[in-house]
Amino acid sequence: MTKYTRTELLTVSASRLLEDGKIVFAGVGIPLLASILAQKIHAPSLTIVVEGGAIAPEVAPRWVPLSTNEMRVARRALMLPSITDLFLYAQRGFFDYGFLGAAQIDPYGNINTTVIGSLERPRVRLPGSGGANDIASHCREVIVVLPHEPRRFVKRVDFITSPGYLSGGDSRRRAGLLFGGVRWVLTDLALFRADPETGKLRLKALQAGVRLEDVEGCTGFPVEVDLPLEEILPPTEEELRVLRELDWNRIFIGEAS
Amino acid sequence: MIVSAERVVDPEEIRRSGDRTVIPFFAVDAVVELPYGAYPHECYGLYEADFAHLETYARRASAEGEAWVRSYLEEFFHGPSSFSEYLARFGLGSLLETGRRARILVGGGIS
């Protein structure tokens, strides 16, 4: 079996969550690579939308964008709206998927990318929201991708940068967010799905070779399990080949071990 | 949203100048290819507004009021059974003339 990096694993498993014919709001790095990979493997009519203001660009292999605001993500786009208009389309509910990373995430899918520690006396300052809050608020299915570590999967995030299901139940709706929300949380160990009723994350599948105990050991809150647990198949040769052709100098996918 | 288009072009043509697109495809439910679809108003570069017609409308609607507007709607909106028949009521001469004027205007034919 071919060896792969953690980022390759995350990118490939994320790409499989994207259905053909849908519209994905993707940032640079894993989201964009996963979206292009999906187009090439199983979803040729997936439309990519990029925050800087590009609708349906055709990213060239070996010209992977390094920022959401540059020529490579505008290449052959069907439309180049302003960033304000692009987020307006999100508000109107046009985008099926949104992709986010997270420094911390809680059982209700709330995301922190602002600060570790208190806001007044931060231990670590993080980059903040950028477009993440809008994506979490308005995309119909949000996919959160992050490495699985206990310090990231916490009972309570230090700060809610981007809303998941807030305190669960109908609290998201009461906050005025009438549609959308976190659907999947994907890590190098597992895949969680948010329960539409309670808003709580439930373990749905394990990455190949991972045991339930591994996930529990790396999660800072009790893991609720959807039985029977599924297993995510490892990346195929074809998926890795296409991915490595895209990120040919391994800027995002990391050094081969 | 239904888009009424003077001409349907290949996506390739749209990709060549994505900065000129004003409506994203996902906001659109249907596209109708309908030349002269804005008539008696204009489509830039293809046909000028039919100013004589608009002028008559404004004058008579103001002078004769609701009854005349009803007869106008009957003639131009309810009456025609197809869009071609609608256009025919303006007359071929008007369609050709407004097209000619638009070409002169954008084609640099004015000194």
Q: Write down the ipTM of this complex.
A: 0.79
Predicted pLDDT at A256 = 77
CA distance A16 to A242: 14
CB contact under 8 A, B24 and A89: yes
On whether any CB of chain B is under 8 Å from the CB of A77, the answer is yes
Read off the pLDDT of residues B85-96 as tens digits, 9 standing for 90 and up.
999 999 999 999
From the CA of A257, how many Å to the nearest CA of chain B?
Answer: 40
Predicted pLDDT at A1 = 60
CB contact under 8 A, B24 and A81: yes
On whether any CB of chain A is under 8 Å from the CB of B24, the answer is yes
Question: Using a CB-CB distance cutoff of 8 angstroms, which residues of chain B are in contact with residue A23?
Answer: 26
Read off the pLDDT of residues A72-131 as tens digits, 9 standing for 90 and up.
999 999 999 999 999 999 999 999 999 999 999 999 999 999 999 999 999 999 999 999
Question: Using a CB-CB distance cutoff of 8 angstroms, which residues of chain A are in contact with residue B14?
Answer: 78-79
For all residues of chain A together, what is the average pLDDT? 95
CB contact under 8 A, A47 and B26: yes
Read off the pLDDT of residues A114-156 as tens digits, 9 standing for 90 and up.
999 999 999 999 999 999 999 999 999 999 999 999 999 999 9
Predicted pLDDT at A66 = 87
Model pTM?
Answer: 0.89
